[in-house]
Structure 1
Amino acid sequence: MSRRKWIAAALAAALGLAGCANNAGQGSGTSSSGGTGTPVSIMVGGLNKQIYLPFMLAQRLGFYQQQGLNVTLQDEGAGVDATTNMIAGKVDGVGGFYDHTIAMQGLGQSLESVVSMLTTPAEVELCRNEVKDQIHSPADWADRNLGVTDLGSSTDFLTQYLAQKNGVDPAKIHRVGVQSGNTLIGALQHGNVDCAMTTEPTVSTLLATGSAYILLDMRTAAATVQQLGGEYPATSLYMTTSYVDSHPDVVQKLVNAYVETLKWIQTHNGTEVADQMPADYYAGSGKDAYAKAFDNEKGIYNPTGIMPPNGPPTNLAVLQAFNPDVKGKTIDLSKTYTDKFVLAAK
């Protein structure tokens, strides 16, 4: 099934479920901030990934409760599946990559980011050691099995773009949904995929085993510009425009909590961050490796929460290069994000 047909089918299924959905949601794991505050449910495309650190960290630091919110965080392996659940009305918001708001506008859905948390994708393309003499860059990807979190995910977007940029027709690569964490690690180690796009702490876990090597790295601003042509804002809290318009007080409280979390990140190191997180977040690589990984990529976090002004055009250019849902369509970027809640928090 083509990506266009796949995401259209997922969207249709989501809309079909909307009438009977509720805010309970069904993630692979949940965590509640507790208390008697206003209930809010957020589904995150991989809670234990460091790229999504602010969501759990805000809970562990008590910032949700300080805002009078009872936030339930639900874990989902891929941002596109979290988006589908939100459109179905199962959750109120998604912790995922900003580019989904652009892709979904191309499908007639109005979503918007209300706070920007990452200024780079922080994604790393790892390949299994057995293909080290065969795959030196994305130019060698033709007919290869490439791991992405899921079809229609941001890693899928980026993988297709990098293939095309390096002269490989995206139709000539085989994208395989391998989720993240242990399932991705297993897919690489068992040869089910030749390369896969992932983030910390999975990167450190795989490198520590000596079973994979880095093909390309987008954990710095300079490397992101080299690979994608400009800033590429990634992690954000995005919601349907209808929810934002009808619950501005709840959105403001959420953004207040995340702006405070982003400020906290800037003044603390990896050890202090690891001390706050659940032990299973660093079970694979160990607490010290988790802390070191954070310190090495601390620059990925947006210190203000404001959308980088030059970022959205890069996201759009990437999607327009290959994505039939976006290519040739008029996309109004001003409707895909808002800074008003962040500015009010400041």
Structure 2
Amino acid sequence: MRLNRLTVAAVAFLPVAALALAGCRDSRSAATTSADGTPQVKIMVGGINKVIYLPAMLTQRLGYFKDAGVDVQLSDEPSGASAENTLVSGQVQGVVGFYDHTITLQAQGKCIKSVVQLAKVPGEAEVVSNKAPLAGAKDFKGKKLGVTSPGSSTDYLTQYLATKNGVSTKDYTTVKAGAGSTFVAALTNGGIDAGMTTDPTIATITSKNLGKVMIDMRTEEGTKAALGGLYPAASLYMDCSYVDANKDAVQKVVNAFVKTMKWISTHSAAEIADKMPADYAGADKALYVKSIKDSSPMFTTDGVMPKGGPETVLDVLGTFSDTVKSQKDKIDLSKTYTTDFVTDAK
């Protein structure tokens, strides 16, 4: 069942009640089970209808969580930072969001790790308005550039692209453009000259001839050209204490996701779209299929962290994130992800 942000309050109440019953037990590590003993896991998705996070709902729709013997409750929070905070506070047990949050949180003294990697690249693109004279990141100077929000992954990647191409981050204006309709409106009315976003927003812009893709990080080739290496993004990350205390439940969740990643790699965009909730496609099913087709190269086929990927992410965050910059040399990447569960799933 698809849940919206209004369910967050209800979801948040359950761990609190469980904590009260368990005395001093920390909700970040405590497991809950149904009456028949099935593990229950709450997962918040940083934009449940975004193509980059499609595997979460697809796994639910395919019935793979149930097949794996785990009761997963999905909820939606479009802001990755808010989803991250919900995890840290113990209101959910997992987040489907960008891997880079695990590094940022370690720099803040918290241990969060990716247990299954869904995407090997950001799945994002720098889209430029047809009215703006930009040919590449070297033309960012003096422009208004849209990001999801300041301090977001899109913000750090934009800063990296600018600096790599000789443009100071002080020489352009960062605009909070969000995603979906707000991003499209900003690009259309001149609020931004260009910006970083994901599908299906990219597909909407290009199909309506409102703009074009200037830097494409939905593929391995495009990401390597833009960033110099792979940049693992969408993942399922969890609190380390929860992972250590609930390995059976985590393994079941990972088993389901790994099965989904294999399914994605062997089915067409149209077949994938058919499995998703009808409202995700809106009034234009063909456009939704196109957005999945264009973005599907970003997904891993096995849930494994791509070699060298964490180092690229640390390089970006260690350069532009004030939180990570001062701690860069102390970051232990081996604690930000594990391949143990994926290996056992295979």
Which category of TM-score, normalised to the shorter sequence, fits these structures? 0.7 to 0.9
Which residue does 2:219 correspond to in 1?
220
Which residue does 1:265 correspond to in 2?
264
**Cα distance in 2, alignment partners of residues 106 and 169 from structure 1:** 25
Q: Which amino acid aligns with 2:98?
A: F
How many angstroms does 1:199 deviate by?
A: 1.2
Quick check: 1:300 aligned with 2:298? yes
The change in CA–CA distance for 1:23 and 1:192 in structure 2 (over 3 A counts) is farther
Check conservation: 1:23, 1:89, Cα contact below 8 A.
no
Which residue does 1:11 correspond to in 2?
none
**Cα distance in 2, alignment partners of residues 288 and 212 from structure 1:** 19
Check conservation: 2:51, 2:295, Cα contact below 8 A.
no
- Give a deviation string over 1:186-221, Cα, whole Å, max 9, x none: 222222222121111111111111111222111211
- Give a deviation string over 1:126-164, Cα, whole Å, max 9, x none: 122221x2x222222234322211222211221111111
- Give a deviation string over 1:232-285, Cα, whole Å, max 9, x none: 11110011112211221211111011000001111110111111011121116x
Check conservation: 2:177, 2:183, Cα contact below 8 A.
yes
Q: Which amino acid aligns with 1:334?
A: S
Which residue does 1:288 correspond to in 2?
286
How many angstroms does 1:23 deviate by?
A: 4.8
Quick check: 1:169 aligned with 2:171? no
Which residue does 2:336 correspond to in 1?
336
**Cα distance in 1, alignment partners of residues 82 and 143 from structure 2:** 25
Check conservation: 2:175, 2:192, Cα contact below 8 A.
yes
**Deviating more after overlay: 190-199 vs 226-235:** 190-199
**Cα distance in 2, alignment partners of residues 110 and 324 from structure 1:** 18
How many angstroms does 1:59 deviate by?
A: 0.5
Check conservation: 1:117, 1:301, Cα contact below 8 A.
yes
Which residue does 1:78 correspond to in 2?
79
Query: What are the within-5 Å matches in structure 2 for residues 112-131 of structure 1?
Result: 112-131=113-132
**Cα distance in 2, alignment partners of residues 185 and 23 from structure 1:** 37
How many angstroms does 1:90 deviate by?
A: 2.1
**Cα distance in 1, alignment partners of residues 35 and 214 from structure 2:** 45
Q: Which amino acid aligns with 1:344?
A: D
Which residue does 1:87 correspond to in 2?
88
**Cα distance in 2, alignment partners of residues 215 and 296 from structure 1:** 14
**Cα distance in 2, alignment partners of residues 23 and 235 from structure 1:** 26
- Give a deviation string over 1:169-191, Cα, whole Å, max 9, x none: 22333323332212222222222
TM-score for the superposition, normalised by structure 1: 0.86
How many angstroms does 1:35 deviate by?
A: 11
**Cα distance in 2, alignment partners of residues 48 and 336 from structure 1:** 26
How many angstroms does 1:49 deviate by?
A: 1.3
**Cα distance in 2, alignment partners of residues 35 and 279 from structure 1:** 32
Which residue does 2:31 correspond to in 1?
none
Check conservation: 1:23, 1:92, Cα contact below 8 A.
no
**Cα distance in 1, alignment partners of residues 245 and 176 from structure 2:** 35
**Cα distance in 2, alignment partners of residues 35 and 257 from structure 1:** 21
The change in CA–CA distance for 1:190 and 1:65 in structure 2 (over 3 A counts) is same
> Identity percentage over the alignment?
47
- Coordinate RMSD, CA, aligned: 2.1
**Deviating more after overlay: 258-267 vs 215-224:** 215-224
5+ residue gaps, structure 1: 1-20, 26-33
Check conservation: 1:46, 1:180, Cα contact below 8 A.
no
Which residue does 1:324 correspond to in 2?
322
Query: What are the within-5 Å matches in structure 2 for residues 1-346 of structure 1?
Result: 22-23=13-14, 37-131=38-132, 133=133, 135-283=134-282, 286-329=284-327, 330-346=330-346
